[in-house]
Amino acid sequence: MLKSNTCVSQINKLKILNDPIYGFITIPNTLIYDLIQHPYFQRLRRISQMGMSYLVYPGAHHTRFHHALGCLHIMQKAVQTLRFKEVVISEEEENALYIAILLHDIGHGPFSHAMEHSIVEDVHHEEISLLFMNELNREFDGKLSLAIQIFKGEYHRKFMLQLISSQLDMDRMDYLKRDSFYTGVAEGNINSERLIQMMHVVDDVLVIEEKGIYSVEQFLVARRLMYWQAYLHKTSLVAELTLTKILKRAKELTQKGDLLPCSEPLLFFMQHKITHESFDATILKKFALLDDFDIVSAIKIWQFHDDYVLSSLSKMIINRDLPKIKMVTEKVTKERLSDLKMKLMQLYPITEKDADYFIFKGKIKNQAYNKTGEPIHIYKKDKTIEDVVEASDQLHLKALSKPVTKYYLCFPKVLLESSDLI
């Protein structure tokens, strides 16, 4: 009887999910199912994939959970393709690839990148992902050990890391296709199916067969366009910067003894300075309780706070009345910033330090292909391997490998009417 129940429970774990991008996604085994069911992974249902981009593209409400499952699906397709081409991948290695790609983004905090620059200081999501993986490995009796080895780049089969983290990995293939779908930015749509079919492994290096070069070119162009039109869209950018400023101000007030109304996990991170060295298992458990809902519910309350800076910034996000962002070709001078701050201080009773929350500058960089990094290898018919930029007959690929830098200036809209400095 016990044996029968066990069999039934295992069958029930082999679920099929319906995805708007790929259709049906299958969960390959019970370990993957149990990882997906774990609270650490379920948290990704409450972490947005594209941060504040929904303020520009109303459909961009998909989550890191969506993305992780999509990556798992196309990793299954990649393993199937490589095995068909007689690349030996053991069952243990196959499972490790699935686990590594499934958990590669598990360390993202609320609204993805905003936490990294405000509440949790200088601890990147990749590091937190690894902490989560190590903790899950303890819970699952070491079954994630090989996945962690691959994720860290310590496994001897180099191409496996390239499938997870490279300039043509499963992560990028899914997020470009998925983000293009949910934003409606058609230029970002890529042919991931053909790219995977063109994959091969030669001398332990992941390559794309020469006949797939046009798909690679289209992938790189799509990546460039998605960055300018979606990820680095100026309204998305100023919204994320404003959110970061809100969290920084909240932390500043909390450190001064003002206990702001918010969830307990969020309050903990505002009360303590969390660094890479102090990020232990106890803090990881608290971090796992944070998601987008903590931030949104807090901002809804903070818009009525007595602190002018915190309330004003919070209202900007809640009501989508964002600061003006102006893209410029040259660096914004300190003098220009100072003049704008003085003008704002004449209009509102704030200090120069407070004005920093409303008037600030920065830069963004878009580089579709990094020639100095791990190249995308094209496997030619004469059995030689060449960088895609050299193998391509399209001159624009050389241009795509050059970083394009733009500078920005952010300031309250009220200054548009009252200043000739803009």
Which amino acid does the sequence have at 32?
A: I
Q: What is the mean pLDDT of the chain?
A: 90
Q: pLDDT for 377-409, tens place per residue?
A: 999 999 999 988 888 876 667 777 888 899 999
Q: What band does 1 get if pLDDT is binned at 50, 70 and 90?
A: very low
Query: CA 319 from chain center: how many Å?
Result: 25
- Looking at residue 13, what is its pLDDT? 73
User: Is position 99 within any domain?
Assistant: yes
User: Is position 116 within any domain?
Assistant: yes
User: Is position 351 within any domain?
Assistant: no
Quickly count helices (H) and strands (E) in the chain.
21, 9
Q: pLDDT for 320-378, tens place per residue?
A: 999 999 998 889 998 998 999 999 998 888 898 999 999 999 999 888 888 777 899 99
Q: What band does 83 get if pLDDT is binned at 50, 70 and 90?
A: very high
Domain span at residue 140 reads: 16-233
For 403, phi then psi, to 5°, come to -70, 140
Query: Does the pLDDT at position 6 exceed 80?
Result: no
Percent of the chain residues topping a pLDDT of 70: 94
CATH of the domain at 216: 1.10.3210.10
Q: pLDDT for 112-137, tens place per residue?
A: 776 666 777 777 888 899 999 999 99
Q: What band does 418 get if pLDDT is binned at 50, 70 and 90?
A: low
- Looking at residue 8, what is its pLDDT? 45
- Looking at residue 2, what is its pLDDT? 44
Contact 116, 109 (CB under 8 A): yes
* CA-based nearest residue to 247, from 225, 220, 264, 269: 269
User: Is position 216 within any domain?
Assistant: yes
Contact 154, 199 (CB under 8 A): no
Q: Structure pTM?
A: 0.92
Tokens of 105: 């983004």
* For residues 242-247, average pLDDT: 94
| Number of domains making up the chain | 1
Q: pLDDT for 260-292, tens place per residue?
A: 999 999 999 999 888 878 888 899 999 999 999
* For residues 48-55, average pLDDT: 94
Hey, how many other C-beta atoms are within 10 angstroms of the C-beta on 212?
21
Helices (H), 140-259: 145-151, 158-164, 170-183, 192-197, 213-226, 234-255
User: Is position 123 within any domain?
Assistant: yes
- Looking at residue 395, what is its pLDDT? 60
Q: pLDDT for 165-191, tens place per residue?
A: 999 999 999 999 999 999 999 999 999
* CA-based nearest residue to 44, from 290, 300, 298, 299: 290
Query: Does the pLDDT at position 195 exceed 50?
Result: yes
Query: Does the pLDDT at position 3 exceed 50?
Result: no
Q: pLDDT for 204-227, tens place per residue?
A: 999 999 999 999 999 999 999 999
* For residues 102-117, average pLDDT: 84
What region, left, alpha or beta, does residue 204 occupy, with left being phi > 0 and alpha being psi -120 to 50 degrees? Answer: left
User: Is position 339 within any domain?
Assistant: no
User: Is position 199 within any domain?
Assistant: yes
Q: What band does 417 get if pLDDT is binned at 50, 70 and 90?
A: low
User: Is position 389 within any domain?
Assistant: no
Hey, how many other C-beta atoms are within 10 angstroms of the C-beta on 41?
21
* For residues 101-105, average pLDDT: 96
The C-alpha atoms of residue 100 and residue 87 are separated, in whole angstroms, by 19
Query: Does the pLDDT at position 419 exceed 90?
Result: no
